[in-house]
Chain A
Amino acid sequence: MSGRRGATWLLVVPPLAWLALFFLVPLALIAAYSLRAGTGVIAPDEPWVFSLEQLGEVLGTPAFVRLLGISVLVAAAVAGLATLFAYPIAYFLTFRAGSRAPLYLTLLLVPFAVSYLLRVMAWKLMLGPEGGINSLLAWVGVTEEPIGLLLYSRPAVIITLVYVWIPFATLPIYAAMQRIQRGQLEAAADLGAGPWARFTRVTLPLSLPGALAAFFMVFIPTVGEYVTPALVGGTDGIMYGNIIQGFFTRSANWSVGSAMAMVMLALTSLLVLVALALLRRRQVAT
């Protein structure tokens, strides 16, 4: 091992330095700015005065707290639905697709390689009173009047995001199911478990960590979303992230914006920690 000692520095220092400088320090800066007095744009050389006012403003403004709650609910709905749709797909790929599984997996992932913005735009083209669906229905003669199809609303945001995330949510579930050993299922069958019992007592518990991972891999990016709400949500569909982004562009207020980002970071970290603790307890229990 002695020859590897020098290599340790060579291999550890660059990623550590990069992540410290460009990941940990920036996050610490959010914490610092959220505790810093001042409004609007804050020049770097302005004196740093401690203040809890911004955090108080964020937590004391019902509209902000409500929007945070809504964003968490929207993200939970999107992550939950995407996981729910992805689960049978992963099950099919693992237990039914046989030797064609890699091909099917590829087919599933190709849409994910198509620009996210483009896929959101596709929904925008299809939905809405002047959209493709309405125009097609009118042309075929099914409808006379355009039907209100959800564009510029919160459901439109949820539908679009679920659609965007389904392929990605399949991956962790598929990975978890592939680790299930066929022997365990055979043993369950030999002990008299029917298909349903084998699913609920073997497959489901063993694949649950994968489903949980899928949920969080969708939840985290979704809870901070502001691009999709701006495109298909309209004024009724905005989320907490839109307000944060607004404070760094249109109506500059860096300290309140940082405080809002800090609250979101704290909340998501807490949720992840709870999920990890739950997983660990389950693993100890079984």
Chain B
Amino acid sequence: MTAARPARTGRSAVGIGRTPVPLGSAFVAMLVLLYLPIAILFLFSFNAGTRLAFPLDGVTTEWYAAALEDGALIEAARNSLVVGVASATVATALGAMVAIATLRLSFPGRRLLLGLAGLPLLVPFVVMGVAFFLLFVLFDLPRSLVTVAIGHSVISIPYATLIVLSRLGGLDPGLEDAAMDLGATYPATLRRVVLPLMGPSLLSAWLTCFIVSFDEIALAIFLVGGDPTFPVFLYGQLRFAQRLPVLVAMAVLLMIGTVALTLIALRLRERES
């Protein structure tokens, strides 16, 4: 944060002024609204009935026990984990390459490469889904977790590139020049100077890409074969009302994981700035 923040009292609180809108209360109301459905899901996962009706039928943890014994559910979660790890690793590596190349090297088409890396953000997922579907048919590559991971790596590259780029932009290029003046080759400089300095942003980019993949469904529906990812599995099971509590219980367990990862990613980025 900036060092010199003007005092927030009297005339010096310029630009802040006093608006008639109670922004603070509006913000709290918004937070309540945002958390309400999540709280309701949480409540529902401990509810003895299979439908959300008041008064609640009683408290139970049987849905959680059932979720942890549900082979197909565990398998789907494991599939999502594998796809997330693979696609986040590829996307972070490629995004970091784009960021280093565009900021530190001079070659024709630098801006084009950066633009290309950001472009997947501008294509609706349904269009991307059709595109990959046709590609894998043409390649005669059967749809599987591999094809989902490839798809997710492409849509994650913009996020990885932007996160690494913003960190690298704040690093002094003089450090690299110094290393090279001292005799290090450029690859050695990247490995021993640049990468360690970028470490936290790489981790933050990786976590962001993982979460993007773990939660993604619109593209995955076009790309899964016999092994569904967790969101695809969930989507297929939603029409069975009886299954809902078990699904919600499992989703709540996974939610705790993704929320923890998000908090770590945010903390990493905060520490850097």
Contacts and interface: CB of A to CB of B under 8 A. Distances in A.
Contacts of A12: 97, 101, 105, 107, 113
Contacts of A180: 15
A134 to B, nearest CB: 9
A122 to B, nearest CB: 3
Contact of B131 (A99, A104, A231, A261): A261
A96 B126 contact: no
A11 B101 contact: yes
A186 B14 contact: yes
A215 interface: no
B8 A98 contact: yes
18 contacts: A10-B187, A11-B98, A14-B94, A15-B117, A24-B116, A27-B127, A29-B138, A115-B251, A116-B217, A117-B217, A140-B54, A182-B15, A185-B14, A224-B125, A227-B218, A261-B131, A264-B124, A272-B122
A38 interface: no
Interface of A: 1, 3-4, 6-8, 10-12, 14-16, 18-19, 22-27, 29-30, 33, 44, 85, 88-89, 91-92, 95-96, 98-99, 101-102, 104-119, 121-123, 125-126, 130-132, 135-136, 138-140, 163, 166-167, 180, 182, 184-186, 188-189, 194-195, 198-199, 202-203, 216-217, 220-221, 223-227, 231, 241, 244-245, 248, 254, 257-258, 261, 264-265, 268-269, 272
Contact of B105 (A8, A125, A195, A223): A8
A109 B264 CA distance: 12
Nearest to A265: B127
The dominant DSSP class at the B interface is helix
Nearest to A137: B54
A152 B207 CA distance: 35
Interface stretch (B19-27, B58-66, B197-205): B19-27
A14 B154 contact: no
B122 A220 contact: yes
Interface residues of B, number: 98
B126 A261 contact: yes
A268 B125 CA distance: 12
B41 A258 contact: no
A11 B105 contact: yes
Contacts of B31: 107-108
A248 B134 CA distance: 10
B134 to A, nearest CB: 4
A26 to B, nearest CB: 3
B139 to A, nearest CB: 9
B137 interface: yes
B64 to A, nearest CB: 15
A203 B16 CA distance: 10
Nearest to A29: B134
A108 B140 CA distance: 44
Q: Please give me the 7 A-B residue pairs with the lowest Cβ-Cβ distance, nearest first.
A: A224-B124, A185-B15, A195-B17, A122-B37, A26-B131, A113-B262, A224-B126
B90 to A, nearest CB: 8
A22 B150 contact: yes
Contacts of A131: 52
Chain A CB within 10 Å, residue with most, of B14, B18, B126, B129: B126
Chain A CB within 10 Å, residue with most, of B19, B40, B127, B222: B127
A134 B34 CA distance: 20
B18 A195 contact: yes
B74 interface: no
B195 interface: no
Contact of A119 (B23, B37, B135): B37
B27 to A, nearest CB: 5
B126 A202 contact: no
B222 A92 contact: no
B107 A96 contact: no
A145 to B, nearest CB: 16
Given A8-B101, A113-B261, 6 more contacts: A16-B113, A29-B135, A96-B16, A121-B251, A241-B218, A245-B222
Nearest to B190: A7
B92 to A, nearest CB: 11
A184 B16 CA distance: 12
A115 B119 contact: no
Contacts of A261: 126-127, 130-131
